[in-house]
A and B are shown apart, each in its own frame.
Chain A
Amino acid sequence: MNATSPLYELKDLSKRYTRGKETVTIFDALDMTISAGDFIAIMGPSGSGKTTLLNLLGGIDRPSSGEVHFEGQRIDNLSQGKLAKWRAAHAGFIFQFYNLMPTLSAAQNVELPLLLTRLSGKARKDRVKTALDIVGMGDRARHRPGQLSGGQQQRVAIARAIVADPKVLLADEPTGDLDRSTADEILETLQLLNAEMGKTIIMVTHDPAAASHAKRELHLNKGRFEEKGKA
C-alpha cells in the first residue's frame, strides 16, 4: 500500500436482508474510504446499519453487492478460510458484552489470537503480558472474567484485540454496557491506542459522549453517511 491509498475503500456497497417475502435494504450504493490511523465513530439510529457496516469491515459478514477493499486487497470475495486468516492478521474485535471465554483466565483469553500464529510459547507469554500492561490489567492476568468488573473485562477484551498487533480495531458499542466514568476510561484507552500505537479504530456507538472521543463522527441514516465536523 502506498502512502496515499486508504486503509479501507468501500465501493458501491449494498446490504439487503430478506424477511419473509420482503426485502429490506439496510444501505445501498455506499462509497467510503477510511485512512490508516483514523479513529471513526459511526453513529445512527437503531436499524440504520451501523453494526452491519462494522461486520462488513471486519469480514464477518458479506455485502449483497459492492466491494470492500483493505490496503488495496478486495476482501469481501475471499473464501471463508482466507477471510478467517485475514481477520486473524489484520482485525481486532471489541464487543459490547466483551465476549470473553468465562473458563479462561484474562491471560488465556488474551493469548487466543496468538494461537493462530507461529509464535513460541514464551513469545506468546511476553506478548500477552505486554498487551495486558498496555490496558492496565497486568496485575489481573490470572483472574477469570467472572472475577473482574465490566470495565476490567472490556480492558481484557481490548488487550485480546491488540495482542496480535492488527492494523484495525473494530469496536461495537464498546462502552454500551458500562457506567459513564468506566466508559470514559475505556475510550481514553482507545484514544491512546490510536494516538500512540497508530491503530485505526472504527467504533459503532449510539452515545454522543463516546463518539466525541473519535477523530471523525459519521452518521449513518437511511443508507447514507453524513459526516459531522470536528474541531
Chain B
Amino acid sequence: MFKQTTAVTLLNLRSIPQRWGMSLATVLSIALVVGVLLGFMAMASGFRATVDGAGSDDVAIMLRGGAMAEMNSNVSRDEVRLLEAAPGIAAGAQGDPLISSELYVVADALRRTTGTRSNLALRGLGLHGPELRPQFSLVEGRMFEPGAAELVVGASVQREFEGFSLGETVRLGPNEWTVVGIFSTGGSVFDSEIWTDLGVVQNLYQRGSGVQTVRARLTSPDDIEVLREHVGNEPRLNLEVLTERDYFARSAGGTVTLIEWAGWPLAILMAIGALAGAWNAMYASVDARTRELATLRAIGFGGFPAFIAAMVEAIVLAFLGGLVGAGATWLLFDGVSASTLGSGFTQIVFAFAVTPGAAVQGVILAVIVGVLGGFVPAIRAARIPLLAVHAD
C-alpha cells in the first residue's frame, strides 16, 4: 500500500506544473489569507511590544481614582506634596524622592507619509522624568532647559512627522518651540512623544499647578503594595496606584484585542474564499487526471492511494501558500513603522512584528484550508469510475 500511495502521490505532484495556472491561483489565494492574518497579528504584536516596552515593574504611576487614562486624570499640587513623603519611593542622588509630576496635552503635526495632521502627545515632566524611563537615552542634542520653550523629541516622532529635526523651530498650537534634542526609549511608546518642562506646559496651556499623573521609582517592585496601602489609608489622597507595566497592559489590552479580533474573523472569511479556490483547483486537478486515475485503478491500484495523493497535493499547495504568505508578510511588513491612536487620543508609533509564532499560526491556517479544500475532491479521486479508462 505504501508503494502504491507513494507512486500515485509522486505522480500527482509531478503533474502540478501541467496545471500550474490553477495551482498558482490556489497558492496565491491561500498566501493572501495568511498575509492578511499575519498582517493583523504583526500589527497587534508590534503594538503590544511597543506598549509593553514602556512599562516597568519598579515604576509606580498614580492617577485620579477611577481615571482610566492620563487624559482624564487630575492630581493636585497638594497631593503631589503628600506623595513626595510617601513610603516605598526611592531617593535620587541628592536625597530627594525620585518622582516626576507629569502633564500631557495633545498637539498636532504633519505626518510625512500621508501629509495629514495627526495628534501627538506633548508631555511636560519633572526633573526626574527621564530617569524614570530606564531605556531613555539622548540620541542627539541636549535636554530642555527648565522654563524654556524647548523640546526633546522621541525618535519615532522625528522619523514619522515633519519639522522635528534638531534645531528646528516648530509651532504647536499657538506657541513656537525649539527642538534641542532627540531621545530614544528603545522603541517604546514614549518614542512617540515630545517632552518639555512641566512648568512650561502648565503655563502655556493654562493648566495652573495641577498635573495628570505622578510617576515614582519604587525602592523595589514589591514596594508597590506599601505605596498602595499608604495611599489607600491617606484620606487626602484619592488616587489609584499601579505599576507602570500594569497601567500600559490595561491601556494596550483593548487595542491589541481589537486588532486581533478584527484580524481573525477577516482571515477566516477570506479563508472560506480560499477554501472554495482550493476546492475548485483540486476538483480541476482530479478531473484533469480522471483517465490516469481510472487507468491506475484498472491496473489494480486501490482508491485509497488516490485519496491520499489528492490530499497530499492539496496540503502541499496550501503549505506553499502559507510559506509564500508568511514570507511576503515578513518581507513587506516586518519592522515597518506605523501608528495608531493610543488611549490618550494621540498617535502611538510602533513597528509591525512578524513573529515566528504568528508565522506558524498562519501556516497552520493554510494547511487547514488545504485539508478542508482537498477532502471532497480527494474522495472523488478515490471513486473515479473505472470505465473512465476509455475517456479520450
Residues of A within 8 A of B (CB): 51, 55, 58, 60-61, 80-81, 84-85, 87-89, 93, 95-97, 99, 101-104, 112-113, 115-116, 160, 172
Contacts and interface: CB of A to CB of B under 8 A. Distances in A.
A112 B390 contact: no
B392 A97 contact: yes
Interface of B: 3-4, 7, 11, 14-15, 18, 291-292, 295-303, 386-387, 389-390, 392
A58 B18 contact: no
B289 to A, nearest CB: 9
Given A51-B390, A115-B3, 15 more contacts: A58-B298, A60-B389, A84-B302, A88-B299, A93-B295, A95-B389, A95-B390, A99-B291, A101-B11, A102-B15, A103-B18, A112-B7, A112-B301, A115-B7, A116-B299
Contacts of B299: 87-88, 93, 112-113, 116, 160
B3 A84 contact: no
B292 A116 contact: no
Contacts of A81: 302
Contacts of B301: 84, 112, 116
Given A55-B387, A116-B4, A95 B15 contact: no
A58 B386 CA distance: 11
A230 to B, nearest CB: 28
A60 B7 contact: no
B208 to A, nearest CB: 82
The 10 A-B pairs with the shortest beta carbon distances in the complex, nearest first, are A88-B300, A103-B14, A60-B386, A99-B295, A115-B3, A87-B300, A116-B300, A103-B15, A115-B7, A84-B300
A113 B11 CA distance: 14
A93 B11 CA distance: 20
Contacts of B303: 80
A103 B11 contact: yes
Contacts of B3: 115-116
- Most A CB atoms within 10 A — which of B15, B297, B390? B390
Contacts of B11: 101, 103-104
B316 to A, nearest CB: 15
B389 A93 contact: yes
Contacts, number: 66
Nearest to A113: B299
Contacts of B295: 93, 95, 99, 101
8 contacts: A60-B387, A87-B300, A101-B292, A102-B15, A102-B292, A103-B15, A116-B4, A172-B390
A100 to B, nearest CB: 8
B15 A93 contact: no
A99 B387 contact: no
Nearest to B4: A115
A84 B1 CA distance: 13
A93 B15 CA distance: 23
A60 to B, nearest CB: 4
The residue among A51, A60, A81, A104 with the most chain B CB atoms within 10 A of its own CB is: A60
Contacts of A104: 11, 14
A173 to B, nearest CB: 9
Contacts of A80: 303
A84 to B, nearest CB: 5
A131 to B, nearest CB: 14
A195 B48 CA distance: 82
Nearest to B6: A115
Query: Of residues B3, B18, B297, which shows the largest number of chain A Cβ atoms within 10 Å of its Cβ?
Result: B3
Q: Among A55, A80, A96, A101, which residue has the most Cβ atoms of chain B within 10 A?
A: A101
A103 B292 CA distance: 11
B362 to A, nearest CB: 31
A93 B390 contact: no
A101 B298 CA distance: 13
B387 A61 contact: yes
Nearest to B289: A101
B292 A93 contact: no
A116 B392 CA distance: 26
Contacts of A95: 295, 389-390
Contact of B300 (A85, A96, A99): A85
B20 to A, nearest CB: 13
| Most-contacted residue by chain A among B14, B292, B299 (CB, 10 A) | B299
A61 B7 contact: no
Given A60-B389, A61-B386, A113 B300 contact: yes
